Amino acid sequence: MKTMLPVVALLLLVSLTAGCTEDAGDRTPPLTTMPALEVRSGAFANGTSIPVRYTCDGEDISPPLSWSGVPDSAESLALIMDDPDAPGGTFTHWIVFNISPEESGLAEGLPREQQLTGGPRQGNSSFSTAGYGGPCPPHGAAHHYIFHLYALNVSPDIPKTADRAALEAEMQGHIVAEGVLVGTYRR
């Protein structure tokens, strides 16, 4: 019996450590971090209030935006502005796609047209119209307006009347970098 106890202990130890060896074939590759785009506006700083001029209480024109950090692999850029605090769920205020990766921003006051000069297109927002529709939250708490900028390794092949769902479907698997700018507005 005394000789069996060490043998049983040894077998138990071997069975517990079986499979604890390092096998390079079973390793999960390390997570890679997607490159970040830096998105800015000359009208407001990240996390601050969007000036009235760019809202339904003002001129309701698009704010100037600029960015940097676009990777060489980008074939186009896409911008989606939304309000995740809207009472009925996320509300899309602006969609711009097929922006040249050579561009470093969008000018203030873009026309509300589907086809912009130079190639970018504006899709239909939750207002069911092309172009920018500024913040116009119900009275009460401040809402957050997120400008999502995506660098894509394709140019989306969708109609210029496309909505957010169509654009996001085309972007699936083709985002090579992204960045955000957040503004707030309260009435």
Q: How many domains does the chain have?
A: 1
pLDDT for 6 equals 47
Domain-embedded: residue 26:
no
Domain-embedded: residue 19:
no
CATH label of the domain that carries residue 58: 3.90.280.10
Residues of the chain with pLDDT under 70: 1-32
pLDDT for 182 equals 99
Domain-embedded: residue 53:
yes
Note whether 87 and 138 are within 8 A (CB): yes
* pTM, entire model: 0.82
pLDDT for 17 equals 47
Separation CA 186–CA 169 (nearest Å)? 32
Give the pairing of strands 175-185 and 48-49: parallel
Containing structural domain, residue 108: 32-185
CA atoms within 13 A of residue 66's CA, in its CB half-sphere: 6
Domain-embedded: residue 20:
no
